[in-house]
Structure 1
Amino acid sequence: MEHPTVFQMLIKERRLQDYHRFRQAYEAAARELAETQGPASLRSCTIGRRQFVRWAHGDMRGVPRSDARRVLERMFLLTAEQLFSRAGTGPADTGAELLSADAAHCETTGRSDLVPEDVVMAAAHESARFAAEAERSNIGPHTMEQLDADIRRIVGTYPNRPVGPLFMEVRELRNRAFELLEGQQPPQYTKDLYLAAGILCGVLANASFDMGRYAAAETQARAGFLCAELAGHNGLRAWIRGLQALVAYWDGRPRDAVRLAASGRDFQPESGTAHIRLASIEARAYGQLNSPGDALAALRTADTLREQAVGEDIPGGMMAFPRAKQLFYASSTHLWLGGSQQLNEAEARAEEAVELYESDPLERRRLGELSLARMDLALARLGRGDLDGTAGTVHTVLGMAARRPTESVTKRLEQFGRQLAVHPVASSPTAANLQEAIASHTGRERAALPPGSVR
């Protein structure tokens, strides 16, 4: 076209000519508008293929109005009139001038939030892919450095990011690692690639577990363990055995959880906290089996291992087992064992865990784990008859779970609801209101789960 619209030039420049890619960026901008300016209805705003084609072909009668206008102006930082004007048809706006102004505005304001996150990450992935190809071999130092950086970013941000979008990003990165392994790489990179692929399978296993897809989680874990074997990495072997034990525990198979945790002890990790995690999972499973001697012994083992721990977890983030998590696993163990003394221990450990989690910066706070620690605290308070303290804690969890839902938190809320229903205070107005809030949340989350398994 002799005189394309500025919109046509911009989508070409930003590689948004594909309808699906454009719609993804458009919907992200709409969600951002809903959160920052409102109204909330913008969260569901999207663009149909036919409308996009008309825009992309310059087949316009007037300019977009209402919500579409606002979203487009958010995406491109230009007015709708500027976007759909013809480049080179008048002295006031020559497409190049508008493109330069757009770039200059982003550069001078210094605001990274002006571009939706998925577009920014897509651009980063494109650059990383180009750099990998520029090495003119299947793999080289830059590719491994980029893969390692991506993995560290993912495991570092996993605990407070929505699980669904992260799953898709990790899946793409894992596929990239598999593709590299299928090629001809220098021998020194093979183990590193297997380790990277094993970690990514482990993250996918954890995400599948968080979405309640236990069978898919176990399949991912088995693939991750095989990669750990091929990489010869004991830390990853032990961590994945812990994940398998955790799935068994939540699936109501405590004996399998004990067996898998014990199996993980066969692998002495290079550094980090994998064995502390194994002992803590074993303690909870023994608690579920009502075996107090074994459960308390496992808790003591975890404490001893904490004193002896050296070095950092690789790659850290969600794969590390911090003191706060150990404390809330201990509180769960005491709750399983029951009795007034164990309730007091459970409440003390849960309170300490919540305090430690809340001391983390917001951007690194482990939201799901914090919610589970609070559920332990709520159960301990309910056990000693503190209904007001219980209700306040559970309502806090409900608010957080609405922002980052996971299967574990939903299941704990359901378990709590069943216990509250048979408690002597069940008929009180406070308990009735709490039951209603729990039922509303868990019903909503169950309805939102997609059918089938996440592969």
Structure 2
Amino acid sequence: MAAQRARRFALTTGQTDLTPEAMEQVHADVQRLAMEYPQRPLSELLPDMIETQDTIYTLLERQRRPGQARQLYLLAGVTGGMLAKASHDLADPHAALTQARTAFMCADQADHNGLRAWIRGVQSLVAYWAGRTREAVQYAQSGAEFAALAGSTAKVWLPMNEARAWAALGNVDKSRVAIQRAEDAWASVQEDEVDELGGLCTFGRVRQIYYAADALTWLPSEAEAAQDYAERAVLEYEDESTPEWAFGDQAGSRAGLAIARIRMGELEGATEAVLPVLDLAPEQRINGIVHSAQRVHRALRDSPLAEEGSDLQEQIEMFTRTPLKSLPR
């Protein structure tokens, strides 16, 4: 508590120009949140995220030198993007897209193409999980030009977002083309200021594998490829000590493997894949995980394994009754 009070005093005491130490503190606050977001329950981070956003907005409301203002707008945009993801995780796409629009405005104020591209990725992600798949495609495509100019890992993330949305729409060819475009993009990727924050702000190889699995599970004709990608993703996410580890993506990879195995007629393998997901505490049952579990339920319901898999369906139903959004806040 004393450290938090000292931090607020250092950042908001009436100085026209922020000291290098103060700017370093704001950057460190945002970077910590970006690194911890994929790995910790949202309830543990949300108060700090809200306070950090409020602090940055307060600092921007005072006159700043152009260089400082640009950096603050960049950090405000990143924080807004994380809060957009938080609203999405709480199953509130309207609030998520509101945060994202403000974050994109901050990206414009900072004139930062990497941030513009990353926010478009956030918007595409929110739209995808909200079932607005054509909107998800549009967001991903509209960010491509910014990503090309920035050269950041958003060059990979955006076409992978597009691949998932095309697959959800049942378009095998466009999904496959987008997956290949993402793979080709690695040849020209260079990390920018957003990537350097790490965690939620960058897109790595393991996450790409998970996205490919998630995309292909929408397509019955691609069950074997989906299983291959999902098995690789599950294996990669076993190591919780790596910077790329994320409990949401780990759960999504397991759900994808379960769907692929259901399509292959392997109920026992599907059950083995998804049971660790169903053991997650309610604090970790974010919107994407709940939707992924529901997709397993639907795949089982619509398969010849439905009767045999009734116990697993019941377990999934029990799991989805207490999502994160149902907990008191």
Q: TM-score range by the shorter chain?
A: over 0.9
Q: Do residues 163 (structure 1) and 42 (structure 2) align?
A: yes
Structure 2 residue aligned with 1:128 = 7
In the aligned structure 1, how far is the partner of 2:297 from the partner of 2:13?
Answer: 57
Contact 2:87 2:95 in 1 (8 A): yes
SS in 2 for 1:280: helix
Deviates more, 1:169-178 or 1:307-316: 307-316
Task: Give the equivalent residue in structure 2 for 1:307.
Answer: 187
Q: Distance in 2 between matches of 1:344 and 1:317?
A: 30
Q: Alpha-carbon deviations, 1:129-150, whole Å to 9, x = none? A: 2333578445221111000001
Q: Where in structure 2 are the equivalents of 1:354-433 lying within 5 Å? A: 354-361=234-241, 365-400=245-280, 402=282, 404-428=284-308, 431-433=309-311
Question: Mapping of 1:59-70 within 5 angstroms?
Answer: none
Q: 1:327 aligns with which of 209, 212, 219?
A: 209
Moved more, 328-337 or 215-224: 328-337
Task: Provide the secondary structure at the position in 2 that maps to 1:159.
Answer: coil
Secondary structure class of the residue paired with 2:321: helix
TM-score (norm 1): 0.68
For residues 255-266 of structure 1, the aligned pairs below 5 Å read 255-266=134-145
Determine if contact 1:378/1:389 at 8 Å carries over to the other structure: yes
* Higher alpha-carbon Rg: 1
1:296-320 CA-partner distances (Å, limit 9, x unpaired)? 1111100001233223513221111
Please list, as runs of the form range in 1=range in 2, the aligned pairs for 1:127-276 lying within 5 A after superposition. 127-132=6-11, 136-137=15-16, 139-267=18-146, 268-276=148-156
- Cα deviation, 1:80-112, whole Å, max 9, x if unaligned, reads xxxxxxxxxxxxxxxxxxxxxxxxxxxxxxxxx
Change (3 A) 1:136 1:335: closer
Structure number with higher relative contact order (C-alpha < 8 Å, ≥ 6 residues apart): 2
Aligned-pair identity (%): 37
Unaligned 5+ residue runs, structure 2?
none
Q: Kindly report which structure 2 residues correspond to 1:28-67, keeping only aligned pairs within 5 A, or say none.
A: none
Match of 2:313 in 1: 435
CA change 1:135–1:145 in 2 (3 A) is farther
State the 1:335 CA deviation. Answer: 1.8
Q: C-alpha separation between the residues in 2 aligned to 1:360 and 1:272?
A: 25
Q: How far off its partner does 1:288 sit?
A: 1.4
Indicate conservation of the 8 Å contact 1:160/1:364, yes or no. no
Question: Alignment RMSD, CA only?
Answer: 2.0
Hey, what's the Cα distance between the residues in 2 that align with 1:123 and 1:364? 32
Unaligned runs of 5+ in 1: 1-121
Letter in 1 for 2:321: G
Summarize deviations over 1:158-191 as a string: whole Å, max 9, x none.
Answer: 1111113312211111011011111122222110
Structure 2 Cα separation of the partners of residues 361 and 403 of structure 1: 21
Q: Distance in 2 between the 1:178 and 1:355 partners? A: 41
Q: CA deviation at 1:326?
A: 0.7
The residue aligned with 2:225 is 345
Q: Is the 8 A contact 1:371 1:409 kept in 2?
A: yes
Instruction: Please give the TM-score of this superposition, normalised by the length of structure 2.
Output: 0.93
Alignment partners' CA distance in 1, 2:188 and 2:281: 35
- TM superposition shift of 1:365: 2.5
CA-to-aligned-CA distance 1:371-415 (integer Å, 9 cap, x gap): 001100000011111111111111111113545120111112122
- Cα separation, 1, equivalents of 2:190 and 2:60: 32
Residue 199 of structure 2 contacts residue 243 of structure 2 at CA under 8 Å; is this kept in 1? no
How far did residue 444 of structure 1 move?
Answer: 2.1
Deviations along 1:55-91, one digit per CA (max 9) or x if unpaired, are: xxxxxxxxxxxxxxxxxxxxxxxxxxxxxxxxxxxxx
Answer yes or no: is the 8 Å Cα contact 1:132–1:142 preserved in 2: no
Instruction: Quote the offset at 1:259 in angstroms.
Output: 1.2
One-letter code of the match for 2:124?
Answer: A
SS of the residue 1:358 aligns to: coil
1:292 equivalent in alignment to 2:172: yes
- How far apart are the structure 1 equivalents of 2:272 and 2:18? 53
- Quick one: which amino acid aligns to residue 64 of structure 2? Q
Distance in structure 2 (CA, Å) of the matches to 1:445 and 1:210: 10
Contact persistence 2:90–2:324 (CA under 8 A): no
Is the contact made by 1:245 and 1:260 (CA closer than 8 Å) also made in structure 2? yes
Alpha-carbon distance change, 230 to 134 in structure 1, aligned in 2, over 3 angstroms: closer
Equivalent pairs, count:
326
SS across alignment from 1:265? helix
* Counterpart-to-counterpart distance in 2, 1:314 and 1:232: 17
Q: Which of 318, 328, 351 is matched with 2:200 structurally?
A: 318
CA displacement, residues 237-294 of structure 1 (integer Å, 9 cap, x when unaligned): 0011111111111122221111111100121353431110000011111111222221
Asked if 2 retains the 8 angstrom alpha-carbon contact of 1:205 and 1:219, the reply is: yes
